[in-house]
A = this chain, B = another copy of it.
Amino acid sequence: MTPERKKRLTDVLNCRQHDLTVVLENVFDPHNISAVMRTCDAIGIQDIFVLNTIIPRHKKWGTRSSSSAYKWLTVHQFEDTKACFIELRRRYEKIYTTHLASDAIGLFEMNLTRSTALVFGNEHSGVTEECRTLADGNFLIPQVGIIQSLNISVACAVTLYEAFRQKTIAGHYSSPHLPADYLRSLMDNWEMKDGLD
């Protein structure tokens, strides 16, 4: 590995955030999943959660090539909602779902500088009742148009970039955010697989 490449990987790792994650609950379209992963990588999310309770476990959602964000993320897979939420509660302070409901708060009213997990649901049926019950709240991306539906990869990107904007102002990208031992183990892991396409 060249010193430039090592510096590049280090710079990326130093921007990875420990206090923000995405949970994809029964999202089935591999294009959506890979687009979400790309956005996670882009704004510095390292750990994401894939929770499949009504669809089969994903066999594949992209290659491990360098152009696939999957290669650079830590993906936690669950098939049991309660087990998934126990792990989420251990790591994050707040858990929000997004689905159409009257109790929803607007995205731009959220404080995304807090430790937060954001749950996005199935393309057709949305977030399950079980997840909604276990979560702390529900948010919506405001819309003023006719159609009233955004693709999940679009909704996730708009949400994560609002988090990025807030976290940038709050200084979350100005110094390393992940615990030192996790950073070191990721660096070892990345160095090892960097050459493997």
Q: What is the interface of chain A, defined by CB distance below 8 A to chain B?
A: 8-9, 11-12, 15, 35, 38-44, 66-67, 69, 72, 108, 141-151, 153-154, 157-158, 161-162, 164-165, 168, 173
A-B contact pairs, 8 of them (CB 8 A): A38-B151, A41-B146, A42-B141, A42-B148, A42-B150, A72-B145, A142-B168, A162-B165
Q: Known contacts A38-B154, A158-B161; can you find 8 more A-B pairs with CB under 8 A?
A: A38-B147, A41-B146, A42-B148, A44-B144, A69-B146, A72-B145, A157-B157, A162-B165
**How far is it, in angstroms, between the C-alpha of A168 and the C-alpha of B40 when the chains are bound?**
26
**How far is it, in angstroms, between the C-alpha of A9 and the C-alpha of B108 when the chains are bound?**
24
Name A145's closest neighbour in chain B (CB-CB).
Answer: B41
Name A46's closest neighbour in chain B (CB-CB).
Answer: B145
**How far is it, in angstroms, between the C-alpha of A92 and the C-alpha of B122 when the chains are bound?**
39
**How far is it, in angstroms, between the C-alpha of A87 and the C-alpha of B109 when the chains are bound?**
37
